[in-house]
Amino acid sequence: MIAIEKEISQFHKQYAAVQQEMGRVIVGNVDVISSIMSCLLTRGHVLLEGIPGLGKTKIVQTLSDVLNLKFNRIQFTPDLMPGDLIGTNVVRETEDGNKYLDFQQGPIFCNLMLADEVNRATPKSQSALLEAMQEKSVSVGNITHKLEEPFFVMATQNPIELEGTYPLPEAQMDRFLFKLKIEYPNIDEMHAIMDRTTQVEEAEAKAVLEQGEVLQMRETVLSVPIAKPVQDYAIRLTLATHPNSPHSHALTNKYARFGASPRGTQAMVLGGKMQALLNDRVHVACEDIRNVVMPALRHRILLNFEGEAEHVDTDDILREIIKDVPESTE
Amino acid sequence: MQTEHDHDSSNSDQIVGFLGRLDRRLRRNESLHSVSRCLWGLVGLLVVLKLSGWWDSPATRGILLGAYGAIAAGVIAWQYTRERGLQRSAVVADSRADLKDALKSALSFLGLDQRTNWMEVHIGRSAETASTLSAAELAPTVVPKPLYYATGAGVALVSLFSWNPGWLQQLEEADFLTAAQQEQVEHIEELLDQAAALAPEEEKLEELSEALERLRRRDIELTESLQELSEAQQALAASQAEMDRLEMDLEELGEKLDAVPGLSELAEALKSQNTKEAAELLRELAERIADAQSSEELQALLESLQNSNLQNQELAEMMENLEQAAGDMTAQDMAKIAQALESIAQQMENMGDQMAAQQDMEQMSQELQELQASLGQQQTGEQQQMAQQQQPGGEAQSQAGMMSDQMQMAQMQGDPSSAVPVDAGPAGDTTGPGGPGGDEVLGEATTLDVQLDMEILTAEEKDEPIPEEIFERLSREEKSTLNYEDVRQPGSYAEESAMQRDSVPWQYRSLVKRYFLSIRNNSSESTPEP
């Protein structure tokens, strides 16, 4: 028992150190950083949506610096091929003149990967990435190459430029644990950004965690137990997003074509565990589940014709669901 | 030394014990709410009982209130004792103490067979939290306000119904007794007062007075009132028979004394039932009892008394006393005879009062008979109205008709307690066995106020088919030219494909939607539905 208490205490120290270092470079976006850390520590991946220039890339770069992990950034373009992503076999020649195929690792072989503007690549390249995200391995020819843990993908997409893009299919969107929306900074945050980025010396973050410590933190998060009634709440929230089902919400019936899959419930439970630890609890509360409903489910609800035409935001539907689904069925 | 198992058990006891205490307090509060609801139900039941008239029948009232009380007690007991587990109290404790589902989770973990160390840590933390909590603070005993209101309303209603039962009846009385009935009752009460003044010891007068009071207040059902009035009337009729015997005795005495010289005035007074004058004459006789002539008169009086066979008990006793006194006459003790005669004179005066009271009672008896007839008619009307409300259409009417027939049958059999319509003539005026009024002259034949004429309605029958046939025939002849899916499918497909294409910019999507909606409206108007 004491060991667990120590483990929790250690987790808090490490997390606080990461937050402090991140805060030296990144202005605001505390919730975004917390959610990204949740995804990283629960074996998930994150999809960031926001207009250019809001610091999406900076966040991932800083995170890799702080965690002392190997970081790669790939700019997705329409002519990006799967080989450019995962690598390819090249023919090499030994000293004695024999030829052999040698696998040249692509940029996906890293710990933290930023897939910038993921919706600009063709579905073929997107599929290669998303398969690697799910399986944590890539197959070239007959050989499967295991990716190093932790493997964390942060994809970004621009919501305003739709011309010449290939929106991610629903099945592939489902692979992302969270979808985060990056909002504009407020005036104070803008001042802070200007102060930090328009001088001779830019703030830099130093590494506070090693790869092993990240994996240890991951184990700690996943160890947090969740009680059946709380899990039941998460399930009922998910079922409320399913149109024309016994648990469906009125807004879902009106505007949704498909609801969230069990991956959505998994995302809520995992995110809830992280939230519980951050709040110094060893159990997941319904409040923790509520806190992660938006990022966990917003990209898993598909709007129907009415919803699309009326520009319904899935966040609005989820807000109503949170309001109407009771914590307990007692 | 405390083992780890003991420690776990202690944590579990701590949590379960606290939740158990909280559960009991929650059940208690729930029971108070149930009591409140049941009391409101009782208030409603009291009002219903009062309005329906069942309140006036103690037996019905007792059964209904008892049954309601038993059901309510059962419901409350079931609510308090039913098995519901501790999950609810855990949810309440988490919510009220802002524990972020700590106890709910701990309880859930305690129910697992296999628990991780993390779960044990959480159970330990929750046990510590539970030890600092107070069930009384989290769920204080709160008597709901509606319980106070319901109790107040119930007590007020019961008080009103019990202490001032005329409160509602006064409102109903105006509708209950007609003006004529009211007048009759008042007249009977006047006669009753007169009779009571003349004969204050008559118990039947007191009973009649109470019966009339109950009739006024409608403390009892109309049927019961009628029964009481009937009994009172029979009692009055019985006393009339007694008075008839007294009159016959007085007449017989008068006839016998008519032959005695010097007592002709007394004989005349007795024959005419003028008891006051007879008393005066007897007093005069007592005063002049000493002279010889009076002695002869007295001797003749005694002889006539010995030969008489008086039926009235009181009069017979008086005369016996006089004979005993006359026995002393041989002992020349005239004072005793004078005293006996004075006593007889006094009794005669009393008899006069009784006879006057009896006249009032006789009149009362007649009035009561009329009142019964009138109330009986009213009861028949009420029963017919109830039958019409309860039974649909003609059945109700036939049942009401049967009731009316039964009333008439009862009347023909001379049942005084049966309801007799006033305008149908006096009781017993038909060819039945006869009752109290059987000897009276037959009344005039009654006729219906409305004479019904048969009216024949004429209608023309045409050979045209009914509308349903026309509709079915046309439906069989006409067929749908296009299947519904063929009409709707292209539109639906076009809408889907147009809207699902991502090349449609956001700002134009509403325009596209409006376009398809406009097509949908037009097509639904122009396309014939199958």
Q: Are residues B16 and B110 in the same domain?
A: yes
Q: Answer whether A311 sits within 8 Å of B119, measured CB to CB.
A: no
Calpha distance B107→B19 (Å, rounded):
9
A223 contacts in B (CB within 8 Å)? 116, 118
Q: Structure tokens of B509?
A: 């999507």
Count CB atoms within 10 A of the CB of residue B131: 12
| ipTM of this complex prediction, to 2 decimal places | 0.84
Q: Answer whether A305 sits within 8 Å of B106, measured CB to CB.
A: no
Tokens 């259409």 correspond to what residue? B393
State chain B's maximal CA–CA distance in angstroms.
Answer: 154
Nearest chain A Cα to B514, which residue? A309
Cross-strand partners of A49: A157, A181
Note the pLDDT of residue A165.
Answer: 79
Shortest Cα distance, chain A CAs vs residue B507, angstroms: 9
Q: What is the DSSP-derived secondary structure letter of residue A115? A: E
DSSP annotation string for A32-95: HHHHHHHHHHTT--EEEE--TTSSHHHHHHHHHHHHT--EEEEE--TT--HHHHHEEEEEEE-T
Calpha distance B260→B517 (Å, rounded):
129
Shortest Cα distance, chain B CAs vs residue A230, angstroms: 8
Nearest chain B Cα to A8, which residue? B118
Count CB atoms within 10 A of the CB of residue A212: 8
For testing the chain B interface, which of A160, A282, A288 should be mutated: the one with the most B CBs within 10 Å?
A282
Q: Structure tokens of B206?
A: 């007191």
Interface of B with A (CB under 8 A): 87-88, 91, 100-102, 104-109, 116-122, 124-125, 495-496, 499, 502, 505-506, 509-510, 512-513
Could you tell me if residue B516 is inside a domain? yes
Q: Answer whether B109 sits within 8 Å of A227, measured CB to CB.
A: yes
Q: Are residues B196 and B268 in the same domain?
A: yes
Please list the pLDDT of chain B residue by residue as tens digits (530 residues).
455 566 667 888 889 899 998 998 888 888 888 888 898 998 898 888 888 877 777 788 888 889 999 999 998 888 888 888 888 888 888 888 888 888 889 988 988 888 888 998 889 989 988 888 888 888 888 888 888 898 898 888 888 877 655 555 555 554 567 777 777 777 777 877 877 776 666 777 777 777 777 777 666 667 777 777 777 777 777 777 777 777 777 777 777 777 776 777 777 777 777 777 877 877 777 776 656 556 666 676 666 666 666 666 666 777 777 676 666 555 456 677 777 777 777 877 777 777 777 777 777 777 777 777 777 777 777 667 666 655 544 444 444 444 444 444 444 444 444 444 444 444 433 343 444 444 445 555 565 555 566 666 666 556 666 666 766 766 666 555 555 554 445 555 666 666 565 667 777 778 888 888 887 755 544 444 43
Could you tell me if residue B239 is inside a domain? yes
Q: Are residues B191 and B329 in the same domain?
A: yes
Count CB atoms within 10 A of the CB of residue B203: 8
B100 contacts in A (CB within 8 Å)? 279, 281, 285, 287
Per-residue pLDDT of A18-39, as tens digits, reads 988 888 888 888 888 889 989 9
Answer yes or no: are the C-beta atoms of B345 and B279 closer than 8 Å.
yes
Nearest chain A Cα to B8, which residue? A1
Q: Are residues B63 and B125 in the same domain?
A: yes
Q: Are residues B182 and B143 in the same domain?
A: no
Q: Are residues B145 and B238 in the same domain?
A: no
Q: Are residues B118 and B211 in the same domain?
A: no
For testing the chain A interface, which of B5, B15, B110, B121 should be mutated: the one with the most A CBs within 10 Å?
B121
Out of B105, B120, B495, name the one closest to residue A227 (CB). B105
Shortest Cα distance, chain B CAs vs residue A84, angstroms: 27
Helix, strand, coil in percent for chain B, rounding step 5: 75, 0, 25
Query: Residue A108 contacts by C-beta under 8 Å, 6 or more apart in sequence?
Result: A72, A74, A85, A86, A87, A129, A132, A138, A147
Could you tell me if residue B267 is inside a domain? yes
Answer yes or no: are the C-beta atoms of B217 and B165 closer than 8 Å.
yes
> What residue spans in chain A does CATH classification 3.40.50.300 cover?
1-80+109-222
Q: Which residue in B99, B127, B124 sits closest to A230, CA to CA? A: B99
Q: Are residues B137 and B202 in the same domain?
A: no
Q: Are residues B119 and B242 in the same domain?
A: no
| Residues 74-103 in A contacting B (C-alpha not used; CB under 8 Å) | none
Nearest chain A Cα to B109, which residue? A227
Q: Answer whether A230 sits within 8 Å of B104, measured CB to CB.
A: yes
Answer yes or no: are the C-beta atoms of B411 and B389 closer than 8 Å.
no
B89 contacts in A (CB within 8 Å)? none
Q: Which residues of B330-361 are buried (b: 16+ CB within 10 A; e: fewer)?
A: eeeebebbbebbbbbbebbeebbbbbbbbbbb
Q: Which residue in A303, A302, A269, A305 sits closest to A286, CA to CA? A: A269
Out of A162, A226, A309, name the one closest to residue B510 (CB). A309
> What residue spans in chain A does CATH classification 1.10.8.80 cover?
224-330
Could you tell me if residue B80 is inside a domain? yes
Q: Which residue among B322, B346, B379 closes a domain?
A: B379
Note the pLDDT of residue A274.
Answer: 92
Out of A162, A225, A328, name the one closest to residue B119 (CB). A225
Could you tell me if residue B425 is inside a domain? no
Q: Are residues B145 and B215 in the same domain?
A: no
Could you tell me if residue B256 is inside a domain? yes
Q: Answer whether A229 sits within 8 Å of B105, measured CB to CB.
A: yes
Homologous superfamily of the A1-80+109-222 domain (CATH): P-loop containing nucleotide triphosphate hydrolases (3.40.50.300)
Could you tell me if residue B475 is inside a domain? no
Q: Are residues B154 and B213 in the same domain?
A: no
Please list the pLDDT of chain A residue by residue as tens digits (330 residues).
778 888 899 999 999 999 888 888 888 888 888 899 899 899 899 998 888 788 888 888 888 889 888 888 899 888 888 888 888 888 888 888 888 888 888 899 998 999 888 888 888 888 888 888 888 888 887 888 888 888 999 988 877 766 777 888 887 888 899 999 888 888 888 888 888 888 777 778 888 988 889 899 999 999 999 999 999 999 999 999 999 888 899 999 989 888 999 999 999 999 999 999 999 899 999 999 999 999 999 999 988 888 888 888 899 999 999 999 998 876
Note the pLDDT of residue B372.
Answer: 76
Calpha distance A121→A167 (Å, rounded):
9
Q: How far is CA A81 from CA A76, A111, A148, B275, B463, in A?
A: 9, 21, 22, 144, 85
Q: Are residues B252 and B320 in the same domain?
A: yes
What's the CATH code, domain A224-330? 1.10.8.80
- CB distance from A285 to chain B under 8 Å? yes
Out of A162, A223, A279, name the one closest to residue B118 (CB). A223
Burial of B168 (0-12, 13-18, 19+ CB in 10 A): middle
Could you tell me if residue B397 is inside a domain? no
Q: Answer whether B104 sits within 8 Å of A308, measured CB to CB.
A: no
Query: Torsion over CA of A274, A275, A280 and A283, rounded to 10 degrees?
Result: -80
The number of distinct structural domains making up chain B is 3
Domain range for B118 is: 4-159
